Structure 1
Amino acid sequence: MKKLSIVTLLLIVSASLFAQGVPEDVAASAASRPAAIVASTSWTAAFADLGGLDDVPFIAPANLIHPPEYEIIVGDVLKINNADYFIYAGYERMMQSMGSSIKKDEASMIKINTNNSIENVREQASLIAAVMGTQAESSKRVAQYVQVVEDGARKVREQGLDQLKVYCHSMQVFLAKDLGLSVAGTFGPGPVTAAQIAEVAKGGYDLIIDNIHNPIAKPFLEVSPTTKVVVWRNFPDRGGRDSLAEMVGENIEVLLQ
């Protein structure tokens, strides 16, 4: 009953907003101001930063273990409907919860792909920048991000970590490969299987990379206790400038320790 009442309230509030007319003086003022942009999570907000945008607010709190599972409230719907653009990934629970209560046209909904590979960061930042006209600034920020990853890859080679046999969480494989790690197998995001546990038990894996937002590698340690395990993030723990580069840099430092 509680879930039904929340959805109903969202629909009522959004319908009320949609029905309200926009005075001409308000419309003129809106045309002269910078576009208001909201992102779904700290990760999509980080892509907005790389797209050349500054201090984009986001809906799901960054301190959640798994931000996409955040349950929206009425105030969140208002923020999204009052924004000129909403940047999202599509897998967020809020996208299903809000349903038709989002009163936005297709052009104002910017859907991006979230993985931290250099190739994808370039593509998604370019997509956002093309909409916002921020291509020059975006190019600078993406170059800085790429430099962080390339510096990390150099350190990986210097320490010989590229020679390790790696078993990697599927949500972290993109960065692992960009760093030059030898990913011999992947697991997740669902629970590990008996076959995967048996694979690790056979031995030979030097490193396991788990995902802090969906940690599932614990069974591997029971069958291969000497294998090193590192845990990486995908969702930055803050918003704002350089948030993705800072997070990836921290992932790299955990690996190098």
Structure 2
Amino acid sequence: MAPHPAPLRPLALTSAALTSVALLLSGCAAGAEPGDPTGSADDTAAEGPAVVATTTWQGAFATAAGAEDVTVIVPADVQHAPEYEPSPSDLAAVAEADYVLYSPFEPFARQITDAAGGDAETVEVDLDNAPETISAEVTRLGELFGTAEAAEGWLEDFDEERRRIAEELAGQWPDGEAPRAVAQVYATWAAELAGAELVETYGPEQLGASDVAGLAEAEPAFVFENTHMSAGRVLPDSDALQIGVVNYPGEDLDLVALYETNAHAIAEAFAGREAEPGAGGHGDH
């Protein structure tokens, strides 16, 4: 399930922004050699379609599916991607794409395609790091891109790595038993990876006093919180350790590395320590 923050108003693209896009596009065209849209005859184009992804999350799915030419619009260090406002250079990148990957909670996605005037096909992606969603979306994108074989190979490696990580975390359960946990609805995949007994979920709406009381009554040992929609400590009067779940991959667009990052935070919590979200050798998202 994709993270669905409150809808934002559609991006209003000003005439000045559109003019800037036109200048960028005309400048690119003027400097390009015939048959070389990048303007550099020495560059070797990546095989497969040119893909523009609105965030690193869609970009990671595209890379897993076998796409080699992937451009990401929203920088990896932007904490809340739906609030990002595309620049003229972002719009210009879309004009050169074969596919633009977006999610429905990003109100700017279709606007940037229309404003750039490109012929890119827009593709809605279901964003969830649960293995079944990753498998379905990577398979679908591989078929769309014509890279189905590469997608299948990646999924085989991913399944092996996921099982390894889950087994290692199970070996670190406190007292050797699956711990009780609550999770924000878009962080449940991490609780499942940890093998936790998920006793309650919450969100995506802000928690009220009665919600907090209900979660506390469940007596969890751990809280799996979505760092991208976090309002702070979920159970401040509880001994439960909070685990900040990172959903967006880093600039490397590596979903396995994202799993490793979250596994590090989970293992630290199992050992009685709270790690900073994203700690463990990966990006901020």
**TM-score, normalised by the number of residues in structure 2:** 0.75
CA offsets 1:114-161 (integer angstroms, 9 cap, x no match): 101111111111111111111111112122222222112212322336
In structure 2, the CA distance between the partners of 1:69 and 1:148, relative to structure 1 (3 Å rule), is farther
Work out whether residues 52 and 99 of structure 2, in 8 Å CA contact, stay in contact via their aligned partners in 1.
yes
Q: Partner of 1:9 in structure 2?
A: 16
Aligned residue for 2:68, secondary structure, equals coil
C-alpha root-mean-square deviation of aligned residues, in Å? 3.1
Correspondence 1:202 to 2:217: yes
In structure 2, the CA distance between the partners of 1:126 and 1:97, relative to structure 1 (3 Å rule), is same
Correspondence 1:248 to 2:263: no
Q: Partner of 2:80 in structure 1?
A: 66
CA offsets 1:80-122 (integer angstroms, 9 cap, x no match): 12212111222224226547425355x7212210101111111
Whichever residue aligns with residue 65 of structure 2, its letter is G
Correspondence 1:227 to 2:227: no
Work out whether residues 201 and 220 of structure 1, in 8 Å CA contact, stay in contact via their aligned partners in 2.
yes
Please list, as runs of the form range in 1=range in 2, the aligned pairs for 1:124-163 lying within 5 A after superposition.
124-160=137-173, 163=178
Work out whether residues 192 and 217 of structure 1, in 8 Å CA contact, stay in contact via their aligned partners in 2.
no
Whichever residue aligns with residue 16 of structure 2, its letter is L
Work out whether residues 88 and 110 of structure 1, in 8 Å CA contact, stay in contact via their aligned partners in 2.
yes
Q: Which has the higher contact order (CA 8 A, sep 6+)?
A: 1
CA offsets 1:171-199 (integer angstroms, 9 cap, x no match): 11123224432211112222112222111
Structure 1 residue 200: Cα displacement: 3.0
Percent identity, please: 21
Work out whether residues 164 and 181 of structure 1, in 8 Å CA contact, stay in contact via their aligned partners in 2.
yes
Q: Which segment is superposed worse, 45-54 or 92-101?
A: 92-101
Aligned residue for 1:213, secondary structure, equals helix
Cα distance in 2 for partners of 1:28, 1:237 equals: 33
Work out whether residues 70 and 93 of structure 1, in 8 Å CA contact, stay in contact via their aligned partners in 2.
no
Gaps of 5+ in 2: 1-9, 38-44, 269-285
Cα distance in 1 for partners of 2:198, 2:58 equals: 26
Correspondence 1:57 to 2:71: yes
Q: 1:168 aligns with which of 183, 194, 202?
A: 183
Structure 1 residue 251: Cα displacement: 0.1
Please list, as runs of the form range in 1=range in 2, the aligned pairs for 1:69-84 lying within 5 A after superposition.
69-84=83-98
Gaps of 5+ in 1: none
Cα distance in 2 for partners of 1:239, 1:158 equals: 29
